[in-house]
Structure 1
């Protein structure tokens, strides 16, 4: 048998088992804390309601309860229990006036009403003919149930359990001390209050679940929009990298080959060309490092040359084959050999591509006109479609593959232009983009 090493630390003893008495004490402390500390701020019950009358409704109900139960309680105490008028008024006020707090502080109202109900039961002992029910009078029972409903709609389950236990203990103690006066209303209030607390608690938890669901849906929608925006910006960054990388590669090749193509260069000129080539290669390395971070694993097929206005005719023809009667209008200078900044050329193509895709998806069969023109300063892209020829679906902010109106706006913003989209009176839709031909650097602040 192997003896334990003298240098091995002795494991700590296991923690003592949690006994029944200590667990009971801990639960009692938790219940006492729940009963003595409200679980919500003193805000009105329907503070988030959209209409003002809905926000005022809890106060109107509380005022109606006090206006109803105060005179009824005074009458019952004086006629059925022979309580003097002044004392009956004081007891009735303590039992009913705190109901004004049920709209925003129901637990604090309970702290006042339950002791007042107990004191009222003690003063109601021994009515003139012994016919009055005891320890809880009829107005006390009904008003107390309204209070329980207000508590159930605001407080936590632990608080409700503590309130119900205290209510039951108070009624049972009164019944045990005066068994000849008690006629079972203490048990009746225990049962009825339990039913009201369960129903109100279920309604509150259902409302909380619905609010959490709405919040989750709102968060999910915001997350989808954010993800669409990030994906589109990533795609734009890759395409801009391809555009810039092409020019930087040309600069590198020209700088490296200049000493061999141009004769009679001085050593200083050769050194300058070498420095230009080295800087261009370093810039390409940094761009490729950025591309490795931005490029997702499923976009390896996007490394080829990017499309531009020269492929708009093919795009429109493909849209016509998809069942959308579309026509393209290009100004003479754009239809010729004029070269545009590649970022503008690519953005214009992508905007037309997404606009036509939206027509196919959301307005099948609609007559569509694509117009691209330039005034020498700005490139204007206009895509207008008529009402759909068949059943249409609403236009969404994001389309398949992460594009959509969000992607259009992001492309236009990064080129320094403007975008205007919206429905037309005849049921169609319009997309108008203005892209400056002197496009801004997307990385500029």
Structure 2
């Protein structure tokens, strides 16, 4: 038995569904009641919608009363009530334009009915909408277009046209075509203001997305740098742990007359060190899961800074190096961090300040190792210098300095150059780095 597809819905049913949807749009205002221009940069700009609405309301109210009484012959009570209902809601439209439209639209329809019933002669006068109604209604359309969604704007526009059509059919001899004018003008204003609003919303969403992406990118870069530093410091820590293991294993043979308790203690120390080495190897396997096999090579130190400077010179950057022949004892972590700081600083010079004269200085006062990289203004700059800390290089520098307990000072120079100055502690008992003065250019 074959199954037939259900017949398509009748056109009348689809029309009823469309009307029901438009009716729902007229009953559901925008969720936000934020005043128009509430996010303006300057405070005075936020009051502009209220001032404009108050100005139109104050101007339309007496003019409407006067025109309805003198030109249309409407009673003073009715004229005052209609003028208030048509003009006062413009103030409400700043925050709740759809509710204001309901009041104004109802008042306009009631006013058209009253003029049709009471006015004896409308020759030469606009009907069903008076000139004041047209002006106030168009102002209201601006507020609606800047706040409500498309479906609501379409429902408002069609309601405006439907009301004008009804009055046109009711009394064609009294109508002067103002309803068609209002229908066209309101549609144009709703279309333009809705386009402006949607463009602004799209720009705000784009800015928010860019901000989120920038934060995520900075966080990802930070995590990558920390993982990279952890991989590099593994060799330093592993060396010390290996020394501890060897010394603990060989102590019973090197030191004569050790009691049995001391021998067991050394054996426990060696076993703990070996277990720590095993755990570190497992951790390193996780950190190197991205296949960075090249990082298994011995880690560099200050002894290779000369090679960095020579490579920078070959890249077209005139660089000079000031490096004492005897810096004294430099801890391995500080030695590695100092090398990486110089490496990142010179890389930034090559990328952001090509052909700029650069000076690299490494010095020591016994307690602190000072690393200074200063470059002059670029002769052919290709991109801005990294001053906000979002660059990959500066993040790595800050992480390395923080790890060793030192200080870092980076920033542009008055002549257009850039400066990177780091102070790294050489002794483990050096006081807090934050209390140390900012590194100064020795020259």
TM-score bin (small chain)? 0.7 to 0.9
Q: How does 1:194-209 map to 2 (within 5 A)?
A: 194-209=187-202
Q: What does residue 69 of structure 1 align with? A: 60
Count how many residue pairs are aligned between Structure 1 and Structure 2. Answer: 424
C-alpha separation in 1, matches of 2:161 and 2:53: 25
Deviations 1:3-61 (A, max 9, x none): xxxxxxxxxxxxx9995677666655544443223213222211111112321221222
CA contact (8 A) 1:341 1:439 kept: no
Shift of 1:154: 0.6
Shift of 1:155: 0.9
* Among 339, 346, 364, the residue aligned to 2:336: 346
Q: What does residue 365 of structure 2 align with? A: 375
1:420 maps onto 2:409 in alignment: yes
Q: What does residue 314 of structure 2 align with? A: 321
Secondary structure, aligned partner of 2:326: helix
Shift of 1:306: 0.8
Secondary structure, aligned partner of 2:31: coil
Shift of 1:422: 1.1
Shift of 1:114: 0.8
CA contact (8 A) 1:398 1:404 kept: no
Secondary structure, aligned partner of 2:419: strand
Q: What does residue 230 of structure 1 align with? A: 223
C-alpha separation in 1, matches of 2:200 and 2:148: 13
Q: What does residue 81 of structure 2 align with? A: 90
* Among 96, 107, 110, the residue aligned to 1:105: 96
Q: What does residue 26 of structure 2 align with? A: 35
Shift of 1:218: 1.5
C-alpha separation in 1, matches of 2:24 and 2:141: 18
Aligned in 2, Cα 1:390/1:160: closer, same or farther, shift over 3 Å?
Answer: closer
TM-score (norm 2): 0.86
C-alpha separation in 2, matches of 1:294 and 1:195: 61
1:130 maps onto 2:122 in alignment: yes
1:252 maps onto 2:245 in alignment: yes
Structure 2: gaps of 5 or more residues: 1-5, 430-443
Aligned in 2, Cα 1:416/1:31: closer, same or farther, shift over 3 Å?
Answer: farther
C-alpha separation in 1, matches of 2:173 and 2:379: 85
Structure 1: gaps of 5 or more residues: 1-15, 441-445
TM-score (norm 1): 0.86
Secondary structure, aligned partner of 1:145: helix
Secondary structure, aligned partner of 2:233: helix
Range that drifts further, 110-119 or 56-65: 56-65
Q: How does 1:273-284 map to 2 (within 5 A)?
A: 273-284=266-277
Q: What does residue 6 of structure 1 align with? A: none
Aligned in 2, Cα 1:262/1:23: closer, same or farther, shift over 3 Å?
Answer: farther
CA contact (8 A) 2:53 2:90 kept: yes
Shift of 1:209: 0.9
Aligned in 2, Cα 1:245/1:26: closer, same or farther, shift over 3 Å?
Answer: farther
* Among 110, 118, 135, the residue aligned to 2:109: 118
C-alpha separation in 1, matches of 2:287 and 2:68: 80
Shift of 1:121: 0.9
Deviations 1:284-342 (A, max 9, x none): 222223223333524221011111111111111221222222222234531xxx33211
1:211 maps onto 2:204 in alignment: yes
C-alpha separation in 2, matches of 1:191 and 1:369: 71
Aligned CA-pair RMSD: 3.0
CA contact (8 A) 1:387 1:428 kept: yes
Q: What does residue 149 of structure 1 align with? A: 142
